[in-house]
Structure 1
Amino acid sequence: MMFWYDHNVSGWGWFAMSAGMILFWAVIITIAVLLLRALNQPHEHTHTAAAPSAEDILRERLARGEIDEDEYRRRLAALHVGPVAKP
């Protein structure tokens, strides 16, 4: 049988093999850790934002200038009193 480079591996060959094996396992472990972290994180995009309250909507309308301050106070007071009972 004919071997291209003989069986003897020089010192650099052993070093390259050792460094390559360490690098290979470091990459495998890094990928595993990152994958586990990604799978165990709570998904932020699944949470829906809470609907704005009636008071928030009133504040926004006041800020945009759709209602004046008197209208804002009147409607806010009506919200705090509650629904008006019909006779």
Structure 2
Amino acid sequence: MRKNVPAYEGVTIAEELRRNIQNSSNRFSSNEKFKLIASFGASTFPEHEETIDKLTEEADKALYRSKESGRNSVNLAYNTRMC
């Protein structure tokens, strides 16, 4: 969780992390290669919610959308607040 990061920047940071994980070179102790992937969900204050619990809930929903869409992706929470 990071404070004072606009939604687009949070998604950019998560996408960079996802890409770095995907492109990492990994080996078991037996020297056998293996690949890692990651999925991320993000939400921002106050666009998506106003409490930490609700922000976490919205980010979790976005994470599940990433997983449902084939994994190895980044999704931003929908704008759920009624202004």
The structure richer in helix per residue is 1
Asked if these proteins are the same fold (TM beyond 0.5), I'd say: no
- Normalised by the length of structure 2, the TM-score is 0.29
Mark the structure with the bigger radius of gyration.
Answer: 1
The structure richer in strand per residue is 2
- Normalised by the length of structure 1, the TM-score is 0.27
